């Protein structure tokens, strides 16, 4: 699966242009402020219908413009030697909503885009996997569930509804109708147990891959373990936990047990990874975890997802940069990797054995100019 063509208009400082990426690694190299992250943002927009760095979506629209759009042609392996082309488009008028299109038809949900164009984003926020809030780690698990276990999507919708309804009742405080609460407890617990089982299974499948990748990138980091925590004491069922803590939930007016409290404890040689790692080591570990997620996707779905890696060289020494390049070459798939130093990036990727097809683009004032790596 790869994007063979991207048409950009009205996005940040990017010129209106068509970019033709390669099916392998695309290196985007240029000075600070040239527009490298903006291209990743445009691809992310195409896949998720939102930006990864702006809450206020109008900030993505070029200053002075009234709309932005990105269009992409995705090549997917079909049966035999055939290829299927999917056409995705996202556009936005300032002050208006987004319009999503797939193969010429309007689609309502951004999740349809995400399903069509599975994307892994690795940037400075990825360090949150280690030092950030549990939400980041739940998001890591749920990316895997969304893309490799599609049956969980319906379950999630039911669970979120039960959670909302339960919390709405709890906000009534001690006057709450306990019989009505019983009903939503049952739905919340049923769906919550299933989601938890799937998250736990996913963490178990990712763990050995991530441990292998950590070893390959930095053997001295030690033995990686992922400890899944469900969000309640699993010596009891979720239904029992809700029953036991009902009075506390009523006082606090919100559900305190369940999948929304889950976490993933990331340990190296038995110690929490956040306790002793340098920033560079944290980045290596976050890369190992996320690349493991991509490799697991490939195993499950039979095709690789797309990788967007912003400022890959930052904080990594030459040895680690080259090991990451080697690992990415082994996993395969299409990647967009940004950096500022042309010579360094070229050298890092040229040394990779079984080198993937590498295309380099110089980025200057919002224009992508293909050049020799």
Contact residues toward Mg ion (CB under 5 A) are 37
**d(Cα 43, Cα 67) in Å, to the nearest integer?**
16
List the single partner that 209 binds among Mg ion, ligand ATP, none, CB under 5 to 8 Å by kind: none
List the single partner that 340 binds among ligand ATP, Mg ion, none, CB under 5 to 8 Å by kind: ligand ATP
Q: Quick one: 37 or 229, whose CB is closer to ligand ATP?
A: 37
How far apart are CB 60 and ligand ATP at their closest, in Å? 6
How far apart are CB 36 and ligand ATP at their closest, in Å? 4
- 8-state DSSP, 11: B
Q: Quick one: 30 or 72, whose CB is closer to Mg ion?
A: 30
Q: What angle, 0 to 180 degrees and rounded to 10, lies between the N-to-C axes of helices 134-148 and 279-301?
A: 20
How far apart are CB 338 and Mg ion at their closest, in Å? 6
Q: Quick one: 32 or 278, whose CB is closer to ligand ATP?
A: 32
Q: Quick one: 259 or 339, whose CB is closer to ligand ATP?
A: 339
**d(Cα 343, Cα 224) in Å, to the nearest integer?**
33
- 8-state DSSP, 124: G
Which positions ≥6 away from 189 have C-beta within 8 Å? 237, 238, 239, 242
How far apart are CB 37 and Mg ion at their closest, in Å? 3
Q: Quick one: 241 or 363, whose CB is closer to ligand ATP?
A: 363
Q: Quick one: 119 or 312, whose CB is closer to Mg ion?
A: 312
Which positions ≥6 away from 272 have C-beta within 8 Å? 265, 266
**d(Cα 289, Cα 277) in Å, to the nearest integer?**
15
CA distances from 349 to 123, 184, 294, 328, 339 (A): 19, 54, 19, 10, 12
**Where does this chain bind ligand ATP (CB under 6 A)?**
12-13, 30, 32-38, 59, 61-63, 340
How far apart are CB 153 and Mg ion at their closest, in Å? 32
List the single partner that 32 binds among ligand ATP, Mg ion, none, CB under 5 to 8 Å by kind: ligand ATP
List the single partner that 334 binds among ligand ATP, Mg ion, none, CB under 5 to 8 Å by kind: none
Exposure letters 59-73 (e unless 16+ CB within 10 A, then b): ebbbeeeeebbbbbe
Contact 23, 5 (CB under 8 A): no
In DSSP terms, 266 is beta-bridged to 226
List the single partner that 13 binds among Mg ion, ligand ATP, none, CB under 5 to 8 Å by kind: ligand ATP
Contact 314, 337 (CB under 8 A): no
Beginning with the edge strand found earlier in the chain, give each strand of the sheet holding 105-107 in spatial order: 17-19, 2-9, 67-77, 83-93, 98-102, 105-107
Q: Quick one: 37 or 116, whose CB is closer to Mg ion?
A: 37
How far apart are CB 43 and ligand ATP at their closest, in Å? 12
How far apart are CB 146 and ligand ATP at their closest, in Å? 27
């Amino acid at each position: 699966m790869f994007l063979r063509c991207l048409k950009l208009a009205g996005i940040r400082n990017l010129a209106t242009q068509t970019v033709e990426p390669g099916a392998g690694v695309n290196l985007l190299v240029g000075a600070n402020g040239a527009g490298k992250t903006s291209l990743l943002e445009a691809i992310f927009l195409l896949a998720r219908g939102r930006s990864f760095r702006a809450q206020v979506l109008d900030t993505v629209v070029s200053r002075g413009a009234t709309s932005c759009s990105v269009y992409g042609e995705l090549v997917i392996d079909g049966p035999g030697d055939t290829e299927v082309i999917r056409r995705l488009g996202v556009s936005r008028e300032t002050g208006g909503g987004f319009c999503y299109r797939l193969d010429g038809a309007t689609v309502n949900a951004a999740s349809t885009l995400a399903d069509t164009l599975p994307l892994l984003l690795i940037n400075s926020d990825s360090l949150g996997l280690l030092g950030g809030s549990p939400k980041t780690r739940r998001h890591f698990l749920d990316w895997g569930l969304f893309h490799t276990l599609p049956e969980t999507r319906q379950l999630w919708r039911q669970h979120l509804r039960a959670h909302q309804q339960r919390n709405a009742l709890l906000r009534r405080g001690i006057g709450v109708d306990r019989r009505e609460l019983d009903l939503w407890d049952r739905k919340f617990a049923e769906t919550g147990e299933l989601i938890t089982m799937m998250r736990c299974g996913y963490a178990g499948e990712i763990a050995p891959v991530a441990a292998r990748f950590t070893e390959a990138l930095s053997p001295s980091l030690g033995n990686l373990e992922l400890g899944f925590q469900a969000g309640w004491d699993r010596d009891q069922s979720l239904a029992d936990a809700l029953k036991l803590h009902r009075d506390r939930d009523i006082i606090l007016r919100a559900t305190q047990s369940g999948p929304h409290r889950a976490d993933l404890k990331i340990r190296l040689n038995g110690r929490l990874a956040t306790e002793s790692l340098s920033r560079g080591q944290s980045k290596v570990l976050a890369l190992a975890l996320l690349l493991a997620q991509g490799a697991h996707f490939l195993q499950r779905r039979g095709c690789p997802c797309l990788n967007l890696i912003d400022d890959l060289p930052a904080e990594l020494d030459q040895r680690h940069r080259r090991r990451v390049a080697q690992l990415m070459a082994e996993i395969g798939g299409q990647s967009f990797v940004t950096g500022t130093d042309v010579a360094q990036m070229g050298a890092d990727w040229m040394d990779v054995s079984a080198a993937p097809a590498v295309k380099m683009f110089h980025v200057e004032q919002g224009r992508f100019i293909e050049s020799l790596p």
